[in-house]
Amino acid sequence: MKKGITVQPFIFILALVVMAFVITFGTKSIFDLKKTAEFTELGLFIDKLNDEVEKFENYEVGSYSNVLFVTPLKVKSICFANIGEPITGAAPDSLIRSAIEGGSRSNVYILPIGVFPKTDFYIERLRVKESANPLCINTKGRLDAALETALHNGQVYVEIHRK
């Protein structure tokens, strides 16, 4: 009779280690893919908003329409600001307040900050109509707002406000 160590337990241990690595890597990949999909959805929202603003820019001054945009579910609110103008409303986040006061070129801010890799954007010719700067609108998977073509300092702008 030979005395020796059988190989079978080592094969089982190696198989368990490999399965643990596969499960860990697979789970991480799924979560990364989900984050990428949510950020892509945010990008689609910004593109659609930009397209709508460009379309409205070509309308006659005074043109008005209610709009509805789908937003990612993680977005709690969206703030719009008039660049270079004083803050007249309550900024829900100190980082947004600092960005506006610091001369940021962005005029659209996504809250909560830190959920997406990028949470501030610039859309040309977009202004806040209401006296509150910034204007923050709560979202629940969608942004309900109104767009209006207006003249400001001799320039045509598209103003956004609550419905």
What are the extents of the domains in the chain? 8-161
* Per-residue pLDDT tens digits of the chain, which is 163 residues long: 566 567 888 888 999 999 999 999 999 999 888 888 888 889 999 999 999 999 998 888 888 999 999 999 899 999 998 888 888 877 777 777 788 777 788 889 998 888 888 888 999 999 988 677 888 889 988 999 999 999 888 888 899 988 8
Distance CA 125, CA 108 (A): 12
Distance CA 24, CA 20 (A): 6
pTM above 0.85, yes or no: no
CB 53 within 8 A of CB 126: yes
Helical spans, DSSP H, in the chain: 8-57, 94-101
pLDDT of residue 86: 80
In whole angstroms, how large is the CA radius of gyration of the chain? 25
